[in-house]
Structure 1
Amino acid sequence: MSHLKTLLYHLPIGIALTLELAIAPGIASPTPSLSLFANRSTIQLAQSNPPPPPTNPDSSSAGGRRDPSNCPQDAEAATSSPLLTALSPTTKPGFTLSERPTFLVYVPKTSAKNAEFSLRTREGRGIYRTTIALTNTPNLINLTLPTQTPPLIVGQPYTWSFAIICNPNDRLGDRFVTGMVQRIEFDSARLRQIQQASLKEQVALYQKADVWYDALAVLYQLRRSQTNDQSINTAWRELLQSGGVDTMINSNLEKKTRVERSP
């Protein structure tokens, strides 16, 4: 009965999301590559043994993709353009220190009006779900878990999904991607060291500790506030590369920005 309730919770996503319960075997965590900021920073973060990495949702495709193809009505979209991409690492663990982390998704040009984000435990128990309006695509969409959402449990792997609703009357046709996230803890001294550092130094410290989601969230903030700083753009590309995420989304978004700014 509990299994049936789990399937009913995810029914709007369609049969596709139920396939995520068959999680692929985990992968070993490689030695983290240091970003541009890490190479220049003199800050050293104390070493500790992290918990085992969460199971990788799909080690064979970037960004945890499952069905990232265009909606049928968008079939004429350029084949060379990046597909729907979850900014979630596939070549290393998806760690976060945050109780309610921020998630990022690249959404290609689409005529679909809405998408759905959901977060579940690895066993399939629903934690959070919301509908998101799609406007001005292609775009990088960010979503932070709201305060009323239960905080992530330390050491518990979670699966998150982002589905483009191609046809509201037939949710089996959704196009979606998934990612994995797991919350870890630092001692108070290490947390204080990060909190007192500049944002660029925080990126370096997060990367050295393999806290991928938090490094991504800070870089996203920096990119939005310091658009002309090329070192931030370089660090962003390096972080995506280190996690196995398609860096083509950068050029597509930058091209869009140039077009919007042109007279």
Structure 2
Amino acid sequence: MFIRLRFIQALLATLMVAAASPSYALNFPQTRDRGAPARGPSLATRGQICLDPQNRPSLTSLLPHNAIATAFGADTDIPMALWFYIPETGAAAAELTIVNELGDDVYQQTLQLPDTPGTIQIDLPRYQADGVTSTFESGNLYYWDFALICDPEDRGDDVLLGGGIQRVDASPTFLAELDAVANDPLAQAELYAAAGAWQETIALAAAMHPQNPNAWTELLTSVDLAAIAEKPILGQDEPVIDVPASTPTAMPNGGDSGNLQRLLEGINRSAD
């Protein structure tokens, strides 16, 4: 009787621990290391004149642990995008630059920053300026940097984040599984997460947020971004979240702004 009682007590304790442990229905898996440097300090630490170092969370890119945003892109209806948490800042504008593995610029955009802290989405182009060639070729890895422009007269004071982006092709089997749950966005998000497609996963979680905030919280918590999950997603009541300060430019291959070296020196998703 004593042994049975001890067993029941142990079983109850186990069940209580399991019940207290979070279960993430939308859990993004650990991503394969693609050679990107580990998450760490911002690329630019000279200035920080437009960020209060005491404010937490700081400027952060919403990415999985390997700092690479993978997407199926052309195989789905969800546009490719990058997501950032913008804290309170003295900067009025930011600049997003994307280069290929050779260091050639393929895209650059300047945008106005929001007046209040929160998470923003920056949609990326599907095509080059000629309207035919896809900006992001399947299988190729591209590098981006996102710069808070603290002082337009001295870009050395920019606060930078860096990361990677890659479009891959979805298999016919995956597309069939996706079609089978076409009316269930959470099931779709879980399929994308299991396939390692970060961009579609986070886009669906954000779209569900007004009705199902738990999915957003679960996803970000699974990649150690719980502090961002409780912050507002800006622009959900507007058709466009980012407001360009200048016309986005899709650059032909061959342009080089010298951004590759600073991108390769360290890819980070947080300016802490």
Which ranges of structure 2 fall in alignment gaps of 5 or more residues?
1-22, 129-133, 234-272
8 Å contact kept, 2:47–2:156: no
Structure 1 position 251, deviation (Å): 3.3
In the alignment, which residue of structure 1 is the partner of 2:167?
Answer: 183
Listed one character per residue, the Cα deviations across residues 55-103 of structure 1 (whole Å, up to 9, x for unaligned) are 32x31428xx4337983144xx361411111112234753211145111
In the alignment, which residue of structure 2 is the partner of 1:169?
Answer: 153
Listed one character per residue, the Cα deviations across residues 180-215 of structure 1 (whole Å, up to 9, x for unaligned) are 111111222321321442210111101111112221
Question: Of 120, 123, 126, which aligns to 1:144?
Answer: 123
Larger relative CO (CA 8 A, sep 6+): 1 or 2? 2
Listed one character per residue, the Cα deviations across residues 12-32 of structure 1 (whole Å, up to 9, x for unaligned) are xxxxxxxxxxxxxxxxxxxxx
Which ranges of structure 1 fall in alignment gaps of 5 or more residues?
1-33, 40-51, 255-263
More helix by share: 1
Q: How many residues align?
A: 197
Q: Could you tell me which amino acid in structure 2 is paired with residue 55 of structure 1? A: G
- Structure 1 length normalisation: TM-score? 0.65
Alignment RMSD: 2.8
Aligned counterparts of 2:178 and 2:162: Cα–Cα separation in 1: 29
8 Å contact kept, 1:36–1:234: no
In the alignment, which residue of structure 1 is the partner of 2:220?
Answer: 237
CA 165–116 in structure 1, closer or farther in 2 if over 3 Å, else same: same
CA 78–164 in structure 1, closer or farther in 2 if over 3 Å, else same: closer
Write out aligned runs for 1:41-80 (5 A).
54-56=34-36, 58-61=37-40, 65-67=42-44, 71-74=48-51, 77=52, 79-80=54-55
Aligned counterparts of 2:106 and 2:172: Cα–Cα separation in 1: 28
Aligned counterparts of 1:90 and 1:166: Cα–Cα separation in 2: 27
Q: Could you tell me which amino acid in structure 1 is paired with residue 186 of structure 2? A: K
Q: Could you tell me which amino acid in structure 2 is paired with residue 205 of structure 1? A: L
Question: Of 205, 208, 220, which aligns to 2:191?
Answer: 205
- Structure 2 length normalisation: TM-score? 0.63
Q: Could you tell me which amino acid in structure 1 is paired with residue 156 of structure 2? A: L
Structure 1 position 125, deviation (Å): 0.9
CA 196–136 in structure 1, closer or farther in 2 if over 3 Å, else same: farther
